[in-house]
């Protein structure tokens, strides 16, 4: 079965954003849009060392960093992999991408839905800002928050 990449991207965005706890909450917190849309990415946490460089990660590595040893893979396609991660204290959606362009396209398509994202090299974690801040200190990356349109 052949799936058109554009349709897969739309399905993946819908699943990720539907599963996200933060899809509409960012509009209530006054979060800014991501840097590539005129806003600013969150600065490094004050008072601590700079976050490590955000290197490429696998779904399993992202899940392990969140305390989720076996993320539930929902989409396993050539263009991207997506999984749900549920622990006793938090919930997140993990997405890895085959290309940087695919990642940027996904983030652009996700912007109207709002939410908070930790963005690394060809990976994204969608969750609540405190979870993303903690994860950023271990994996690097930048936090992007958008408002629901």
Under 8 Å between Cβ of 12 and 95: yes
Share of the chain above pLDDT 90, in %: 52
Whether residue 10 is predicted with pLDDT greater than 60 in this model: the reply is: no
Per the structure, the complete domain to which residue 88 belongs is given by 8-35+53-146
pTM of the model: 0.67
Q: Tell whether 48 is covered by a domain.
A: no
**pLDDT tens string 80-124:** 999 999 988 889 999 999 999 999 999 999 989 999 999 999 999
How much is the pLDDT for 69? 84
21 or 48, higher pLDDT:
48
Q: Residue 105 falls within a domain, yes or no?
A: yes
Structure confidence at residue 149 (pLDDT): 55
Q: Looking at the domain assignment, is residue 1 inside a domain?
A: no
Count of domains forming the chain: 1
The pLDDT assigned to 53 comes to 64
Rounded to the nearest 5°, which phi and psi values hold at 65?
-65, -25
Closest CA to 144 of 67, 50, 38, 10: 38
């Amino acid at each position: 079965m052949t799936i058109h990449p554009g349709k897969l991207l739309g399905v993946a965005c819908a699943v990720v954003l539907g599963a996200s706890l933060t899809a509409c909450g960012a509009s209530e917190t006054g979060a800014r849009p991501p840097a590539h849309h005129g806003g600013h990415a969150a600065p490094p946490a004050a008072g601590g060392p700079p976050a490590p460089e955000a290197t490429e990660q696998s779904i399993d590595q992202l899940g392990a960093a969140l305390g989720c040893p076996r993320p539930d893979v929902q989409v396993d396609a050539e263009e991207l992999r997506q999984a749900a991660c549920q622990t006793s204290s938090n919930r997140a959606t993990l997405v890895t991408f085959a290309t940087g362009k695919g990642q940027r396209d996904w983030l652009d398509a996700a912007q109207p839905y709002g939410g908070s994202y930790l963005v690394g090299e060809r990976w994204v974690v969608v969750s609540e800002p405190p979870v993303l801040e903690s994860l950023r200190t271990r994996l690097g990356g930048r936090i992007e928050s958008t408002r629901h349109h």
